[in-house]
Amino acid sequence: MNEINITYDELSLPKLYEKFSSDVFKYSFSILKHYEEAQDAVQEVFVKYAESEHSFKKECSSKTWLLIIARSYCYNKIKSKNFNNERIDDSFVQGYTIDFETKMDIKDALLQLSEEHNELIHLKEYSGYSYKEISEITKLSVENVKIKLFRARQQLKKYLKDE
């Protein structure tokens, strides 16, 4: 049987949405820390992707391009006057089987990290991206990603031990 390999870049916009909207939501939520804002971000990211599809040079995967757009959108949203990034809800650690007390400790510790460290932890630990993919998304060198992730993990351990 002859198998047809389709790259993500060859998928239509509805197929890309079906395949990656969950990833875009989780990543947006890790930055915005608010469920409804993250849902809005998903819609905006796919609109921006459709509008900028002609400028997509395919130097990275469609998934990475979507996350780059999401990152830009979320940080612009945070910078806007009307956004309060102090909000967070319980769905951040949804799907992980840990007890309530541990869940609160992790959430509290993550909130104490800088935005950059929080973002890097989410991309690596929650979403499972490689150092190279994180480098492409954040525009940091691979070595810088590794160093910052090491420091973020150290901070997280310190916060969890102190609690």
How would you classify residue 115: left for phi > 0, otherwise alpha for psi between -120 and 50, otherwise beta?
A: alpha
What is the location of CATH 1.10.10.10 in the chain? 95-163
Topology of domain 95-163 in CATH is Arc Repressor Mutant, subunit A (1.10.10)
| pLDDT top residue among 128 and 132 | 132
How would you classify residue 88: left for phi > 0, otherwise alpha for psi between -120 and 50, otherwise beta?
A: beta
Q: 70 with 24: CB under 8 angstroms? A: yes
Topology of domain 10-87 in CATH is Rna Polymerase Sigma Factor; Chain: A (1.10.1740)
Rounded Cα gap, residues 101 and 111, in angstroms: 15
pLDDT digits (tens, 9 = 90+) for 18-57: 999 999 999 998 888 888 999 999 999 999 988 877 776 6
pLDDT digits (tens, 9 = 90+) for 70-116: 999 998 888 886 665 444 444 444 443 444 444 446 777 777 888 88
